[in-house]
Each structure stands twice: as structure tokens, then as C-alpha cells.
Amino acid sequence: MSGAEFAKVERTSAATGAVRAIQQMIVDGRLAPGQRLPPERELSELLGISRPTLRETIRALVGLNILESRHGAGTFVAGLSTAALLEPMRFVMALNERTVEELFEARLLLEPALAGLAAQRATGEQVAAMRAAILGEDQVEADVLLHRLIAGASGNALLAAMLESLSGLGRSSRSMTSGRPGVHGRTAEDHEAIVAAVEARDPDAARRAMTAHLERIAAVARERQGLA
């Protein structure tokens, strides 16, 4: 027995109710990362659901990276890292990979805020890493790294992980736009403006520079796809 108090769930939509009940126990701290859940028979009785419904519940929570099943050992609360919990979001975004507008809408909401926070919180070492990144020979890799460093310097792990969840789609859009005439030079100028604003500890300038950069690249991507 784990020591956690499991409450019976409503029998209507039992699996959904059980998923919510276990999620709430984790939020409340009654279940902790790495903790082993009671055996199937005991857990089904504690939650007041059938064993088939319990198996459905566990499959759902495993799919969300909230629980993990270990063969021969049982079911455990997962490590609950932000990156792992956001992993299912990658699939949702992948379904819309053809939609340039949705990707850039998301980035325009997220990345200027990250740049503004980075301007407030970045250490000298983090700024130096950004400057080194923009000197990279591979433009796509340099761009990915710079945006990741800015996110890390924001000091907000959740927002940084959200940006990381978009990185695969972002890499695709970068590959699509980087070869367009004039893009390389303008991107280098944009990156310099962003890093300079972060280095100057000017959140407003950092947000403006990041917004201008993303809006320009979005326009190039639309043109590339014949959307502009």
C-alpha cells in the first residue's frame, strides 16, 4: 500500500474520472514522482472502478508521460519533467506542420516574452554564449541555438520547455526560409539586434527586436509557400 488516500470516482466516464483523480493527487502532493502505485486489484478497489477501466486509465496517463509502467515492477509516477509532460504537444503540433500561420502565431506570442525576460535575467555568461551562437557557420543550427539560449536565459523553465516543444517545427520552417535571397544577412542583423538588447538589459527593445525578426521570417515563409 502506498499510503496515499484514493477516493472512489463517479461511475459515469469512470476512466476519465480516474485520470483526473490521479492527476489531482499528484498536484496535491499525495503522489510523488517515482512513487509506486498500489497493485492493480487494490488500486481498482480504492478508486471504485473495474480493472479493465483501471488499465484504460493507466494507458492514458502513460501516454501523457504522467505514469510509467515497468515490466515486472508495477506502475510508477513518472519523473514529471516539464519537457516530458509537453512531449504529447509535439504530436498535436506535427498535425499542423503545414500551417505556417499557426507556428508563427505561437512563436510571436511566446518568444518576444522570453526575450524580454532574458533582458532582465541573463547572466554575463549567458549573453556571451548568445554572442558565440550568432557566429556559427551553419545558419539554421545557429538560429536554433540562439533562440534556445534566449529561452534558457529567461529563467522560466515552463516557457522554455514550451518553446522547445516547437523546435522540430521551427527547424523545418528555418530550413524552408534560410536559403531565400537576402535572408542570411537580414537574419544576422536581427540576431545582433536581439542580443544587443538583451546585453543592454532593455526588455522592451528585446521584445521589439524579436517580434520584428519573427514577423520578417514569417513573411518569407508565407511567400515561400505561396501564401503571401
- Rounded Cα distance between 16 and 223, Å, is 44
Cα–Cα–Cα angle for 33, 36, 40, rounded to 5 degrees? 135
**What one-character DSSP code corresponds to residue 33?**
T
Dump pLDDT digits (tens) for 115-153: 999 999 999 999 999 999 998 877 777 888 999 999 999
Dump pLDDT digits (tens) for 76-112: 999 887 667 766 655 655 554 456 677 888 899 999 9
Q: Which grid cell sits at 197?
A: 538588447
**What one-character DSSP code corresponds to residue 11?**
S
pTM of this structure: 0.59
Residue for grid cell 525576460: 117
- Residue 170: band (very low, low, confident or very high) from pLDDT cuts 50, 70, 90: low
Q: Which of 12-26, 32-46, 202-216 has the highest mean pLDDT?
A: 202-216
Phi and psi angles of residue 96, each rounded to the nearest 5 degrees, phi first: -110, 20
Give the pLDDT score at 181: 47
On average, the pLDDT of the chain sits at 82
Q: Which grid cell sits at 190?
A: 536581427
Q: What is the DSSP track for 143-194?
A: HHHHHHHHHHHTT-HHHHHHHHHTHHHHHHHHHHHTTSTTHHHHHHHHHHHH
- Rounded Cα distance between 205 and 104, Å, is 20
Give the pLDDT score at 10: 52
Give the pLDDT score at 100: 67
Q: Given CA atoms 129, 135, 141, 143 in this order, what sign does their dihedral have? A: positive
- Around Cβ 187, how many Cβ atoms within 10 Å? 22
